Structure formats: structure tokens, C-alpha cells
Structure 1
């Protein structure tokens, strides 16, 4: 039997408590072994489902533990790069929440450190591990909708009433694009294996120095794209890939089986519509299992730091284009 990867979590965030820690605990080949938090009350819900969990009083203590193999980092955005570096330097594999950096060039040194240590470091871009996305990419590349002409992506929610929400705070890397633009932009790149040739339009609305509504357009080689991301609009998730012979549409692309049932609609000639459903897959668990497999065997990981850098570079270009559009 292969030795499982023993995981530690830096910080008792709500997202870690609700999604990633349970996913690590449930994943084949993984053990949720440690949690770093100075607040016993925040540790209690984690211990409730993993009684053997070792609770460390600070992040450094967890990184110093010899029986922790990999670290998951769900800290505020502005701390990702710092603690990813520290974890690699401590000899731990790293899975860090998105966005892994606030500027693309910040990722360069992390790539160099990854290569120097020989450890796995990756951004937690979980959607690429979900079968609906893997199937959608196969369909697109197999010509199910002919030649791709346009991509339309929407990811919105409304947290205006939650003034203290970390996403509404500029000093910790908040904003709608860092939080959810990473999905619409990254999904387009993942599906097409292309980078934008130009950001043709960037209309951003700001509150308290964070972007709260973003309407962005881009030109790729052979197709255009338009994305809407907002923290001030009614919740909606949709990714549509429009070809000359059909349409691929994912109606719950980012929170499958939470926002809506995970499915792909394939619209083809003659108004024929085929629906493929994915009712039981948990992309957080699949992400952890894929990470553990790569750690144990050296198998390629589905979302590299270089791929994460590509999305962050695109985000940087959107913010730069927005300045010019003012």
C-alpha cells in the first residue's frame, strides 16, 4: 500500500473548513494531519470531523513538523506568495488558493524555488480536475461545435451587504477579478490553450479601491471573448463556447452541484440539444487526489504554476487596459 500524503492547513478559514479540509480528509491517498491556528474555537469544527488532527499554535510550527508532507494555503490573497515560499523552503509540497499572486512577475521566483527544491507547488484551480471541464475540452478540441468563434463567460454574486468581507478590502488583495475573474479568464485559457492577443475593452466599476463590476473583452487567435464578473450583481454562473456549427454551454461551471447541477449542453445543427450530466463529482476531492498522485509518482499536474502565471498576467493586462479606458 502506498504511503499517504500527510497534509497541513495554514489557517482555519471558512473555505478550508467547509470545502478543502473535508476534501483532503475524504481523498484517497491523503491524510488531514495538521491545522495551524491560534484560536481553539476555530479549530474545533475541523477536529469534529478529524479527531486525530494535530493543532499547531502558529504557521511556523506546522511548517517545522517533520510528519507534514504537503501544505494547503487558504490565507488572504496578499499572503499567498510569502507563505508558499516559506512552505517550499521548509520542504513541503504546496497547494495554494487562487490567485496565487497579485502580480504575474511575483510567480517567477516561486517557479524557480519549485524547480530548485523539486517539490510540487500549484495553484488550487480546482475546475480543471472536474470531469465536466475535461469532457468539455475534449468536445471542443474534437470539433463538436466546429470552429470556435466566441466565448461568453459570467460569474457574479452580491456581497455588498458584507462590508467586512475580505473580498471588499483592498489591503488584502480583494476585488472581484482576483476572486472570480480568475475562473472566467482561466477557463477560457484552459479550454483553448490560447493566450489573449489583446484586451480590447475593460470597463470596471470600483468601490473602496476594489473592482466590483468588470466587463472585459479580448481578442484571441480566431475568436473573441467577453466576460462579466461582479460582486454586486445577482448570482449567475455560465460559460458558453460558440462555434460555427454548435454551442457548448456549462451552466454550473465553477460551483457544480452547488450553484446548479453540473452539466454540459451541446447545441448542434437542427436545434438538437444533448445534455451530459455529472451529478456526483467533487472537484475539491479530485484536486487533492490528483495532487497526491503527482507527489507520489511525479505524474504531470493538471494546473502548473506556469498556467497560473498566464491567468495572472491576463488579470494584470485587464487592470492596465482599464486605466487606458478611463
Structure 2
């Protein structure tokens, strides 16, 4: 155990790193945003605005060779995640990699093996499980507060059709709505219930230029039925509902609260009673960085291990297999 802050480096000056994860690392307790890898001074400038002392390396390998860096955050395009995660672990760095860490479930195996061989912390940046709204939802569902769980349904959508250069709209970078946001609608159901899908009973997908832009998926889990829609071509909406025999739990900003809206958990009880719990100030990106730091510094169990993330990717693989027949 050590009280020294974890010194972080970021591979690439991605917009998400600039707007969310960079500031979160800078704000997190026990963390020091110390380095950035980018060859563009213009892209480095916004990071220096909130982290003036940050070192800038002109390449990813140069940052990995920096002995002062303990951990790296990887926000690169999806198809590069596995390779750079393995390189970072080989360089002796702990790794937090953006989701999806891999494009197929079996690609997780090499990362899990490397994590175990090195003894380093490696995880997918699946931030929602660090938010207390999801722990409350899990407690309510598993405690029987809503009776027997019958159905889980969700939706996550946004519209980026005009952003044609976005990596989510490109097949060659591992784009698509399901890899980007299906991880949330699928993974959150697994997190709350602790169950895995037995069968994808329906998978209807609309494709554009090789990426899924709309998908409706139904699945059978051991104790409930599941239905979700993801889209990159609809107005922004997000919601998850866990519907039981006596009531239901609804999350109104389940995936990116503060951006989409205030995180709220609505417990609907018999007699039309509604109990609302609000989380106005929680930043789950900061929570994620702090949890990662505790695992690095104290050896604490990380709340979202690679095995969980592999399970979500396995469900995504099942969805694509069903859609393609």
C-alpha cells in the first residue's frame, strides 16, 4: 500500500479524453495527470489548460517508455485497443482502456492472461458501474423490492449522421452503435441481475457503410425477458427499466448523467407510489479513476474486472451472430 498518487498518461488527445476523462483524472483523489501522447501542439493545448504541468510526448511508444508513468488511459479507436493495451502492460503500466476493449469476446483472453502474468491492473473503462445509481438499482432488484423480475427494457440513442468522419460511423475503426452504446444497455442488465443471456431471440439491425446505426434486440435470460434499442440515427434518449411482478425500477439518465440529465432512480411501488432518489453531483468518471487508483495503490478488488467486460462482449457477439443468421 502506498499514499503516492498514481501518475497517469493518456495515449492520444481524443475529444472524449479532453472533455471527460482527462478532467476526471485531474480531479480524482490519488491521481496525477502527468503525461499525454500527441504529436500535435494544438491538441495538447486544451489539456494544458486544466493540467498545466502535463508532459507531452510526441508518440505513444515514448509515453510508454516514460518510467515516471504508472498507468495509462487509452481512448484510441476501437480496433487499436487490444494491441495498445498489451503494449502498455508489457511496458509495465496499469491500463484503463476505453470500451469496447475488444471487438470479440475471445480477444479479451490475451489481455486477461497478460494482466495475470504481469500482476498489473487492467480494465475496460466501463464507468456506469461506479455510479451509485446502479448500485441502488441492483440492490432494489435483487432484494425483491419489485417482486419477481419479469422484464428488462432499455433504450440508448443519439444522432451523429452528419459527423461522417466520426470513428463510430466507420467500419474500419470498429464503429457502430452496438459497440459504442450496446455495451451499456446489455452490460447494465447483466450488472443489475447477475444473469447471462441464454439466447438472443430477435436481432434486427439497420446497417450503413458497414456499421450498425439502429438495432432492436430481444433476449431470454434465466429469469426474465430483455428488450433494448440502440441507435445512432435517432434523437437523444436513454432509459433503463427493470419491471417486476410488484413494481419496477426506472433509471432516467442511466449512462451519461450530467450530460443527458440528472441521475435519478424511480422505484414504482404498488398503489402508484413512486420513491425517487436523485444523484445531482456524482461524476462517475472521477469515481472510476479513484476506484482504479485504489486497486493500484492498495490492491483493492476492482469493481469491473475484465471478466465482466468479456461477458458483455460475448452478448454483443451473440447479437451479431443472430442478426447475420
Instruction: Spell out, residue by residue over 1:230-269, the C-alpha distance to the aligned partner (whole angstroms, 9 max, x if none).
Output: 0011110000000001010000000112211110000010
CA distance in 2: counterparts of 1:38 and 1:138, whole angstroms: 46
Q: Which runs of 5+ in 1 are unaligned?
A: none
**2:268 aligned with 1:267:** yes
CA deviations 1:178-227 (Å, max 9, x no partner) are: 00000000000000111100000000000001000000000001100001
User: Deviation at 1:316?
Assistant: 0.6
- Which residue in 2 is equivalent to 1:54? 55
Structure 1 segments of 4+ aligned residues over 4 angstroms from their partners: none
Instruction: Look up the match of 1:201.
Output: 202
* Structure 2 Cα separation of the partners of residues 56 and 240 of structure 1: 45
Q: Which residue does 1:302 correspond to in 2?
A: 303
| Inter-partner Cα distance in structure 2 for 1:109 and 1:162 | 33
Indicate the SS of the match to 1:16. Answer: helix
Which segments of 5 or more consecutive residues in structure 2 lack a partner in the other structure? none
> Cα distance, 1:297 vs. partner?
1.1
Paired residues in the alignment total 324
Structure 2 match to 1:81: 82
Describe the SS at the equivalent of 1:259. coil
Q: How does 1:211-230 map to 2 (within 5 A)?
A: 211-230=212-231
1:159-178 aligned at under 5 Å gives the runs 159-178=160-179
Aligned equivalent of 1:118? 119
Question: TM-score, normalization: structure 2?
Answer: 0.99
For residues 108 and 313 of structure 2, what CA distance do their matches in structure 1 show? 9
**Counterpart in the other structure of 1:286:** 287
Inter-partner Cα distance in structure 2 for 1:87 and 1:17: 20
Q: How does 1:119-198 map to 2 (within 5 A)?
A: 119-198=120-199
Q: CA deviation at 1:118?
A: 0.1
- Distance in 2, matches of 1:269 and 1:62, equals 56
In structure 2, what is the Cα distance between the partners aligned to 1:164 and 1:290? 34
Supply the distance in 2 between the matched residues of 1:303 and 1:35 (Cα, whole angstroms).
Answer: 25
Matching residue of 1:91: 92
Cα root mean square deviation, aligned? 0.7
- Cα distance in 2, alignment partners of residues 60 and 117 from structure 1: 19
Matched position secondary structure for 1:102: coil
Deviation at 1:82, TM superposition (A): 0.4
Q: CA deviation at 1:298?
A: 1.0
Paired with 1:25 and 1:260, the residues of 2 have a C-alpha distance of 23
Distance 1:318 1:298 in 2: 35
Structure-to-structure mapping, 1:5-44, within 5 angstroms:
5-44=6-45
